[in-house]
A and B are shown apart, each in its own frame.
Chain A
């Protein structure tokens, strides 16, 4: 034999799934919501999304270069982080702020820890929370979605104006009015202020003001289901998370409808969908075992609702996910499955 044979430890074959494939699949699953945000918010949305993704990728490339490792852009994780971050930002956020968020996401929360797979906190959520705390004004300046002039689902497109009044958008006249989000109104004025929209299909379709990617529960759900079907994520975290939010909303709404909003309102507004399907399920920063995933989901749900209902911030998804990220080591330690040979002992 003239050429040396390869030798390696068994197994000698591998499955088809690869890390880059997983990352790009998640990116793909986010595309409907992204495109919808382009349609809804127009150019400001395109700028924020493309700008953030480009900046994230560039920062990742630089970090890799500095760390001396191979250029790992191929694995798609940087693009995914950038896209996820962008989708949690309000349309029209200045690009330099997007860059600051990208820096915190990719460099501080990820590269400092050693890059892909080494971070303890979800990079996109870390970036968003940083921006929220550093630039509260800019981060709560919401654009009114594009008035289509035509109604979807048989009634006119609506949005809140700055005074918190529901305005019907009858034509494509407004492109840049600042407005409050439904959750912001709920936080400030209670459930009465959002009564009109509480059970509106707009919540589901997402013709509302809010962060780019979080407005449309429908498209996010579509992406999430795609990931479930492709077995990229398991049902545990999304079901536990959304379920917990629904249960708490149902109880509080039943107790005091004037103070607390309905289940549909809580489930379909804010960042819950994107958080439950895309942020909380991030492999690196979520528990490994089924039981742990359920605990994680429930924990996220409880904290989200605590912050939404009684906290100072209108939305609690990003804080809740980060806080539960911090609990992952403890959850993992506590929920290790019983190994084979300990559960069904052969009856003597």
Chain B
């Protein structure tokens, strides 16, 4: 009986030895060098393959990192955490950038910015934009066909009931895929910490803007009186991130058409049609106005110890010439 076992063991060992000899030779002949950093990088990258880094997928980014072509901070969905992890693997210092989110700079859904033609054809924004300049009277407004929504890998873009794309800042990773998808280039990346934005891209004169949209920026410059961060180029206001300064919350209600968006509300007044909701909103506005007044008064009194309020500074950027020194 034991001889049977011995024979079996010998046979199997013999076969095993022959095979392992073959493999050993094979390893020598087909030796390939692999950089194990690539694998490590793949483990920490988010794996969404969103393309926000500018490389084809996470694997492409990892390869570029290993080759030294890419910087560790290029992964928007990963944020600071992944950047520092990459830096650790690659052994380099990481300069952290402020996280960004996308924002659709248009507030004009079809109830506010009417359509001028009945479009038939491929149901993507790029397609509609190419036919007769788009079916919306405003040639800079959101077409509402949701091309940005369909490219978003993070479900961060929702289409409102009135066919307007809105970015959910809580889900947005700032990968920028939607920027490419929008044929009208009305989606932009803004610092995540900021929550007041001008939701309009129409550079036309006030008369032309009013003709096509109720909530379009007319370039009236009222907002610039509220905060030095607002800049009006031509007939379109924007927030200049380079300029330091505070933006009072009430600024969005100074804007006559209501083109300034307050991300904390995730809404602008013209979108609210329900009367009771509108009244609530207006009440809130009154409250804010009071608060703002009180805050200003305090600032005037020279309460230097107010922690969360920066002292007004001279605007550094030359673009802020319109600054009326509203806070000083």
Contacts and interface: CB of A to CB of B under 8 A. Distances in A.
Interface stretch (B92-100, B113-121, B182-190, B233-241): B113-121
A303 B115 CA distance: 59
A4 interface: yes
B115 A6 contact: no
Nearest to B116: A4
Interface string B127-157: 1001110010000000000000000000000
Interface of A: 4-9
A14 to B, nearest CB: 12
Nearest to B132: A7
Give the most central of A4, A6, A7, A9: most B CB within 10 Å.
A7
A8 B131 contact: yes
B259 to A, nearest CB: 25
A5 B131 contact: no
Contacts of B127: 9
B135 A7 contact: yes
Contacts, number: 26
A254 to B, nearest CB: 55
Interface residues of B, number: 13
A8 B121 CA distance: 6
In terms of DSSP, what is the predominant structure of the interface of chain A? strand
A9 B130 contact: yes
A6 B131 contact: no
A275 B121 CA distance: 37
Nearest to B130: A9
A7 B115 contact: no
Given A4-B116, A6-B119, A9-B127, 17 more contacts: A4-B117, A5-B117, A6-B117, A6-B118, A6-B120, A7-B117, A7-B118, A7-B119, A7-B120, A7-B131, A7-B135, A8-B119, A8-B120, A8-B121, A9-B122, A9-B130, A9-B131
A335 to B, nearest CB: 29
26 contacts: A4-B115, A4-B116, A4-B117, A4-B118, A5-B117, A5-B118, A6-B117, A6-B118, A6-B119, A6-B120, A7-B117, A7-B118, A7-B119, A7-B120, A7-B131, A7-B132, A7-B135, A8-B119, A8-B120, A8-B121, A8-B131, A9-B121, A9-B122, A9-B127, A9-B130, A9-B131
Interface of B: 115-122, 127, 130-132, 135
A6 to B, nearest CB: 5
A5 B121 CA distance: 14
A301 to B, nearest CB: 41
Give the most central of A4, A5, A6, A8: most B CB within 10 Å.
A8
A17 B226 CA distance: 64
Contacts of A7: 117-120, 131-132, 135
A9 B122 CA distance: 9
Contacts of B120: 6-8
Nearest to A10: B131
A198 to B, nearest CB: 58
Contacts of A8: 119-121, 131
A6 B119 CA distance: 6
A138 to B, nearest CB: 48
Contacts of A9: 121-122, 127, 130-131
B250 to A, nearest CB: 38
A4 B137 CA distance: 11
Contacts of A6: 117-120
> 9 closest A-B pairs (Cβ-Cβ)?
A8-B120, A7-B132, A7-B117, A8-B121, A6-B118, A4-B118, A9-B121, A9-B131, A4-B117
B249 to A, nearest CB: 39
A5 B115 CA distance: 11
A9 B128 CA distance: 9
B228 to A, nearest CB: 43
Contacts of B132: 7
Give the most central of B115, B118, B121, B122: most A CB within 10 Å.
B118
Nearest to B115: A4
Contacts of B118: 4-7
Nearest to A12: B120
Contacts of B116: 4
B136 to A, nearest CB: 11
A163 to B, nearest CB: 60
Nearest to B134: A7
A9 B115 CA distance: 17
A5 to B, nearest CB: 5
Nearest to B117: A7
A12 to B, nearest CB: 10
A7 B127 CA distance: 12
A74 to B, nearest CB: 20
